[in-house]
C-alpha cells in the first residue's frame, strides 16, 4: 500500500465503518426475486476489522452472489468517513462479488487461526527448551518470597532478626537452622525471608532429592540450575534494597528424612563459592536437632549454626494472645511448656473439647516413651542411654559436655541413633556444645524411670 494512503485505525473507525456498511445494505437491496443476505452490526464491525488489518476491501454480505459494488458509489454513501474509505478503495482498486467477500473473510480467519496456532507451538517449544526452562525458573525465583503464614499470625522473635542479619551479610558457608522439632524453625526462617527476591525453596524427602528438586524447579539438571542461579545473581543487582545480593537455596529437612543428608552437605559446600560462576547461600532448615547434626559442610568452620529455641514466657504470652488466650496463657505454659508446637496443639485440643490437663497427660506419656527409648540406646561402648540420663540429671539444667569421665560422645553419631529410633528425649546444642534433656517433661520422665531399679 502506498505510504500516503496508510491510515492509523482507531476504535471509532471500526464501529462507524461497521454501521456505515449496514447503511449501504439499504442502497443495495436486491430485487424482490433475489434472496437478501442480512448483515448484523457484529458482522459489519468484524469485516471492517479485516479491511483495516489487510487494506483490501472485504465488505459484509450486502448483495446477491452475482452483484458487485462500485467503489465510488460506496465512497459517496459512506459520508463523513469518506477520506478513510477512499484510501482503502484506492489501495484495493477493485470490486468484489459476495462469494469473493465471503472467501476473503474465511481466508483471513483461517490465516489468523494458523498464526495463533503457530505462536502457541512456538511458545510451547520455547518453554520446553533449556533457555525457556531457565527463564521460567528465574521468573519464579525473582518473585518476592511469600511465607506460608500471614504476617499477622506470626509473633516477632529475636532469632528472626539474627537470621535477617546473617542473610544480609552473607559471604560464604552454609547456614544451618537447628532446634527441637516444632520449635518454630520453619516459621522463623520464612519470616526472616519475607519479601526477599532470589529464593528457591525445596523439601528433601529422599536420597535422590537433587533429581526431584531440578524437576520441581523446572530445570533439567545441575547445569541449568546453576545457570539459573547465576542469572538470579545478576538480576538482583536491579533490586539494591533486597535483603540479599546472593541467590538463596532454602532446603527443608523433615524429621522423617534419614537419607540424602550427606549429599546436602556436599552440595552446600560446592555452591558456596564463585567456582560455579555464582555463589549460592544454602540455608538448611532441619526439623529436629538430630537432623541438623547430620549436616556437615566440611567442619564447623564451614557452616553457621543458628539455634531456634523454645519461646520465652513473653513470646508465649504474645503467641497465645493471637489464639484468644491472653488471660489464661499461664495455664497453657504450666501444662505444656514453652515449645510453640505443643502450645499450638493444646489450643487445637481445647477447641475439640480436650482439657489442658488431658493434653498435659498426653504429653507426659509421649515424653516417657521417648525417655525409655533413649535409655535403651548404646550411646558409647562404655556408656548406654540409661547411664547418660543419670549423668544428665546430675548437671541439670546446665547440660552435659561432649567429653566427661574420659568418655567422648560424638554428637553426630548419637543424633543418628536418636533419629533412627525416634527417641528425641535428649538433644545436642551446637552453639553451647552440650547435651540437654529435650524438655522438663523428658527430665521428669527420666527421673521416674531411674527411680525404678
Q: What is the pLDDT of residue 26?
A: 46
Q: Which pLDDT score is estimated for 392?
A: 97
Q: From CA 17, how far away is CA 48, in angstroms rounded? A: 6
How far is 61 from 50, CA to CA, in rounded Å? 14
Q: What does the pLDDT read at residue 204?
A: 87
How much is the pTM? Answer: 0.71
pLDDT score, position 265? 76
Tens-digit pLDDT profile for residues 295-312? 665 556 678 889 999 999
Domain parsing of the chain, residue ranges: 3-116, 141-307, 313-450
Which regions in the chain score pLDDT beneath 50? 1-7, 9-16, 18-19, 21-71, 74-75, 77-78, 80-82, 84-86, 88-89, 92-93
Beta strands in 227-365 (DSSP E): 248-253, 281-286, 303-307
pLDDT of residue 10: 47
CA distance 29 to 284: 79
Closest by Cα among 398, 388, 401 to 449:
388
Average pLDDT for the chain: 80
DSSP readout, 190-253?
HHHHTT-SSEEEEE--STTHHHHHHHHTT--SHHHHHHHHHHHHHHGGG-TTSS-SS-EEEEEE
* Predicted local distance difference test score (pLDDT) of residue 339: 94
What integer pLDDT is reported at residue 44 of this predicted model?
45
- The whole-number pLDDT of residue 207 equals 82
Q: Summarize pLDDT for 69-115 with one digit per residue, the tens.
A: 444 554 454 454 445 444 544 554 455 565 666 677 678 778 888 88
pLDDT for 113: 86
CATH number for 141-307 (one of 1.25.10.10, 3.40.50.300, 3.50.50.60, 1.10.3720.10): it is: 3.40.50.300
Amino acid at each position: 500500500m502506498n505510504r500516503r494512503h496508510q491510515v492509523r485505525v482507531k476504535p471509532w473507525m471500526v464501529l462507524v465503518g461497521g454501521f456505515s456498511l449496514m447503511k449501504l445494505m439499504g442502497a443495495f437491496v436486491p430485487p424482490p426475486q433475489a434472496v437478501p443476505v442480512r448483515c448484523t452490526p457484529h458482522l459489519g464491525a468484524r469485516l471492517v476489522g479485516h479491511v483495516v488489518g489487510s487494506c483490501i476491501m472485504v465488505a459484509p454480505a450486502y448483495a446477491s452472489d452475482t452483484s458487485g459494488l462500485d467503489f465510488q458509489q460506496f465512497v459517496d454513501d459512506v459520508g463523513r468517513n469518506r477520506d478513510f474509505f477512499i484510501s482503502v478503495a484506492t489501495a484495493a482498486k477493485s470490486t468484489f462479488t459476495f462469494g469473493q467477500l465471503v472467501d476473503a473473510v474465511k481466508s483471513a480467519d483461517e490465516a489468523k487461526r494458523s498464526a495463533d496456532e503457530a505462536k502457541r507451538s512456538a511458545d510451547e517449544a520455547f518453554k520446553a527448551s533449556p533457555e525457556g526452562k531457565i527463564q521460567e525458573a528465574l521468573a519464579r525465583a525473582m518473585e518476592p518470597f511469600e511465607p506460608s503464614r500471614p504476617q499477622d499470625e506470626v509473633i516477632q522473635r529475636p532469632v528472626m532478626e539474627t537470621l535477617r542479619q546473617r542473610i544480609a551479610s552473607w559471604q560464604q558457608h552454609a547456614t544451618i537452622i537447628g532446634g527441637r522439632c516444632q520449635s518454630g524453625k520453619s516459621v522463623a526462617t520464612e519470616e526472616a525471608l519475607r519479601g526477599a527476591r532470589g529464593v528457591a525453596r525445596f523439601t528433601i524427602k529422599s536420597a535422590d532429592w537433587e533429581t526431584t528438586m531440578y524437576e520441581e524447579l523446572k530445570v533439567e539438571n545441575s547445569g541449568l540450575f546453576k545457570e539459573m542461579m547465576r542469572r538470579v545473581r545478576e538480576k538482583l543487582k536491579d533490586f539494591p534494597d533486597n535483603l540479599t545480593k546472593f541467590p538463596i537455596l532454602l532446603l527443608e529437612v523433615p524429621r522423617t528424612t534419614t537419607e540424602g543428608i550427606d549429599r546436602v552437605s556436599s552440595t552446600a559446600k560446592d555452591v558456596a563459592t564463585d567456582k560455579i560462576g555464582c555463589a549460592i547461600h544454602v540455608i538448611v532448615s532441619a526439623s529436629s536437632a538430630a537432623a541438623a547434626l547430620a549436616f556437615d559442610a566440611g567442619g564447623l568452620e564451614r557452616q553457621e549454626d543458628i539455634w531456634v529455641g523454645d519461646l520465652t514466657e513473653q513470646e508465649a504470652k504474645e503467641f497465645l494472645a493471637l489464639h484468644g488466650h491472653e488471660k489464661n496463657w499461664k495455664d497453657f505454659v504450666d501444662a505444656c511448656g514453652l515449645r510453640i508446637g505443643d502450645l499450638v496443639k493444646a489450643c487445637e485440643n481445647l477447641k475439640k473439647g480436650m482439657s489442658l490437663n488431658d493434653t498435659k497427660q498426653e504429653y507426659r506419656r509421649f515424653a516417657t516413651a521417648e525417655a525409655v527409648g533413649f535409655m535403651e540406646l548404646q550411646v558409647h561402648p562404655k556408656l548406654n542411654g540409661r547411664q547418660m540420663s543419670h549423668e544428665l540429671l546430675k548437671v541439670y539444667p546446665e547440660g552435659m559436655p561432649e567429653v566427661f569421665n574420659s568418655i567422648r560422645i560424638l554428637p553426630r553419631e548419637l543424633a543418628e541413633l536418636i533419629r533412627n529410633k525416634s527417641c528425641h528425649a535428649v538433644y545436642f546444642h551446637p552453639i553451647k556444645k552440650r547435651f540437654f534433656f529435650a524438655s522438663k517433661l523428658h527430665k521428669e520422665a527420666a527421673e521416674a524411670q531411674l527411680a525404678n531399679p
